[in-house]
Amino acid sequence: MQISISPRRRLAVKLGLLLVTAGVSAGALAQTVQAPVLPQAPIRLIVPFTPGTGIDLIARTLGPKLSERLGRPVVVDNRAGASGNIGTEAVVRAAPNGSTLLVTVNTLVMNASLYPQLAFDPVKDLTPVTLTSWGQLLLVANPKTGFKSASDLVSAARQKPGRINYGSPGVGTPHHLAMELFKTTAGVFVTHIPYRGTGPALTDLLGGQIETMFLPIHVALPHVKSGRLVALGIGSDKRHALLPEVPTLAEARAGKVNVDMWYGIFAPPGTSPELVALYNREIREILLSDEVKKAFQTQGMDPTGSTPGEFKSLVELDAKRWAGLIQAQGITAN
């Protein structure tokens, strides 16, 4: 039987023989190559949003476990403002030495088109490390509307163009762009009412001041269960275990609309492949734990890791998708 040796393994063998000849420990070199040196300073997980958000929960769940595995203090640094751009720029400008990471959501790629005057490119000027999770958005309505499904909303919107109002936490948020994609796919017009945060928008939705909106599934769930909101459809390719009776928007005959939100971790530009591989390996191992799964699921997120390359491809593809919608709809951040 012939044993196949990979080029990487073959190179390691050659190096080992040379080092033995020279009286140098091959094991010491291998350890140096395989274990990049991290700074002694605390590792910062920068969250470009306020405490208490799903992104913040990811950082605060992963942080202690990452600290244990790497033997370094890990601190969560909330840098909120400008739809995540302030915290993101802090990571873009940080030293690529492994001491700073960005924990964020797919708002990142939307900002690339919403803020064309930014001094950095949120997509090109970061190094993808790993995907951490997926989250779903649920299309809901106030019961007073009489809507029972997404197709009911589509029919009503066609009969009364512009007279149905929908809310969002603000321009450029996933909630906003999800509805704009829904409008484009279904060929309807409903009026956008932007709020300063999810809380005020949800309050007006429950009070009947607006008729409908997209909400993260964990935010909508208690209100759907209590009957204060009606779930019209989920913006995903498949139903969710928390609401298995709620159809996808495609199943509800409202068009194939997938507005799943991804969450992930990035490093500053110029970070070495060795450091990226180190963080990718450690974080993906952490994501497999039952404790992390339970913590994420309370926020309606499903933990999922990826290779850096897979994550990079996802980011680039999503950036193109949302850029096309933003340009077609003439959406601006102002």
Same domain, residue pair 203 and 154: yes
Q: Tell whether 14 is covered by a domain.
A: no
**Rounded Cα gap, residues 272 and 95, in angstroms:** 11
Can you list the residues of the chain whose pLDDT is less than 70? 1-35, 334
Same domain, residue pair 266 and 324: yes
Residue 332 confidence (pLDDT): 79
Q: Tell whether 2 is covered by a domain.
A: no
Determine phi and psi for 104, rounding to 5 degrees: -150, -175
Quick one: which H or E segment has residue 127? strand 127-135
Same domain, residue pair 141 and 220: yes
Same domain, residue pair 128 and 165: no
Q: Say which residues have a Cβ less than 8 Å from residue 102's Cβ, sequence separation at least 6.
A: 45, 46, 48, 87, 88, 91, 126, 265, 266, 267
Count of domains forming the chain = 2
Q: Say which residues have a Cβ less than 8 Å from residue 8's Cβ, sequence separation at least 6.
A: none
**Rounded Cα gap, residues 201 and 168, in angstroms:** 6
Whether 235 and 250 have beta carbons less than 8 Å apart is answered as no
Determine phi and psi for 235, rounding to 5 degrees: -85, 60
Quick one: which H or E segment has residue 133? strand 127-135
**Rounded Cα gap, residues 309 and 277, in angstroms:** 11
Same domain, residue pair 141 and 190: yes
Q: Tell whether 10 is covered by a domain.
A: no
Whether 235 and 218 have beta carbons less than 8 Å apart is answered as no
Q: Say which residues have a Cβ less than 8 Å from residue 265's Cβ, sequence separation at least 6.
A: 101, 102, 103, 104, 129, 130, 132, 279, 283
Same domain, residue pair 165 and 228: yes
Q: Tell whether 33 is covered by a domain.
A: no
Same domain, residue pair 123 and 150: no
Q: Tell whether 177 is covered by a domain.
A: yes
Q: Say which residues have a Cβ less than 8 Å from residue 286's Cβ, sequence separation at least 6.
A: 62, 65, 66, 69, 292
**Full residue range of the structural domain in which residue 222 is found:** 137-234
Q: How many CB atoms lie within 10 A of CB 116?
A: 11
Q: Tell whether 219 is covered by a domain.
A: yes
Say which CATH number the domain at 123 has: 3.40.190.150
Same domain, residue pair 320 and 277: yes
In angstroms, the Cα distances linking 5 to 10, 11, 33, 177, 233 are 6, 10, 20, 50, 52
